[in-house]
């Protein structure tokens, strides 16, 4: 089956067909990488049952152990480290738009897995940002009272917050680390972004098919001027 669009030239179609071959190969690679990731053996046991602070009824702070983040019948936990530490004036301007999109996906993902957002700031600061941005579905936790961020690379040695995603797996009473975004510190080719969460980020993936692409001189902002309709 050949796809053609109105008034396209033979030159365009030939170039597009060559690109399609690359896209098909990329799909094969993505499937193969996903399969290899799923087949990873168990990682290291989690060193402690971390105690986080989350919002209970009426947003009253409650203590939640890591082991309590696993729902019945769901043995995987996705934990995203949100760059919002106690010394930061405001939340990360890249993480926040990322979480804007994940807020819409969280309710769907919850049907198959456990998903939490962890930040180093005290819980009231995190909840204030969530209210301002309209996050309603994300499960937000504060790691202000534990070493989770430092242990699982959500924080650098000098205290800078890092945009790290980790996956944990429960096996009986034991929780193991399963996968983390190790592309973040990995070397990149000249001009490349680390794309450590690239397959999940709606904004960058939305821009990729455009002639301008992601570009090198633009990043998401926390807010924009409203345009008149």
pLDDT at 137: 94
Report if residue 101 sits inside a domain. Answer: yes
Report if residue 199 sits inside a domain. Answer: no
Q: Which segments of the chain have a pLDDT < 70?
A: 1, 57, 226-229
pLDDT tens track for 71-127:
999 999 999 999 999 999 999 998 999 999 999 999 999 999 999 999 999 999 999
Report if residue 215 sits inside a domain. Answer: no
pLDDT at 189: 83
Report if residue 85 sits inside a domain. Answer: yes
The count of domains in the chain is 1
Both tokens of residue 204? 């960058």
| C-alpha pair distances (Å), 222 with each of 41, 97, 106, 225 | 39, 7, 20, 11
| C-alpha pair distances (Å), 129 with each of 58, 93, 100, 148 | 16, 12, 11, 21
Report if residue 65 sits inside a domain. Answer: yes
Q: Which residues form the domain of 172? A: 51-180
Report if residue 69 sits inside a domain. Answer: yes
Report if residue 106 sits inside a domain. Answer: yes
The CATH number linked to 115 is: 3.40.30.10
Report the distance separating Cα 18 and Cα 24, nearest Å.
Answer: 10
pLDDT at 184: 81
pLDDT at 214: 77
pLDDT at 217: 75
> Who's near 126: CB < 8 A, 6+ residues apart?
82, 84, 119, 140, 141, 142
> Who's near 15: CB < 8 A, 6+ residues apart?
none
């Amino acid at each position: 089956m050949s796809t053609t669009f109105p008034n396209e030239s033979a030159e365009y179609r030939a170039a597009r067909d060559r690109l399609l071959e690359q896209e098909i190969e990329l799909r094969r690679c993505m499937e193969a990488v996903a399969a290899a990731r799923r087949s990873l053996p168990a990682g290291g046991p989690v060193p402690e049952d971390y105690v986080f602070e989350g919002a209970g009824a009426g947003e009253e702070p409650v203590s939640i152990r890591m082991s309590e983040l696993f729902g019945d019948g769901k043995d995987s936990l996705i934990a995203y480290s949100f760059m919002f530490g106690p010394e930061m004036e405001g939340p990360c301007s890249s993480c926040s738009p990322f979480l804007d999109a994940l807020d819409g996906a969280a309710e769907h993902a919850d049907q198959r897995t456990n998903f939490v957002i962890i930040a180093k700031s005290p819980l009231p600061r995190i909840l204030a940002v969530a209210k301002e941005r309209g996050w309603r579905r994300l499960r937000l936790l504060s790691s202000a009272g534990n070493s989770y961020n430092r242990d699982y690379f959500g924080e650098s040695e000098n205290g800078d917050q890092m945009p790290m995603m980790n996956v944990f797996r429960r096996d009986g009473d034991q929780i193991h680390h399963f996968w983390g975004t190790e592309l973040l510190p990995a070397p990149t080719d000249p001009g490349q972004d680390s794309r450590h969460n690239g397959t999940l980020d709606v904004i960058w993936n939305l821009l990729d098919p455009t002639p301008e692409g992601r570009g090198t001189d633009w990043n998401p902002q926390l807010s924009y001027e409203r345009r008149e309709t």
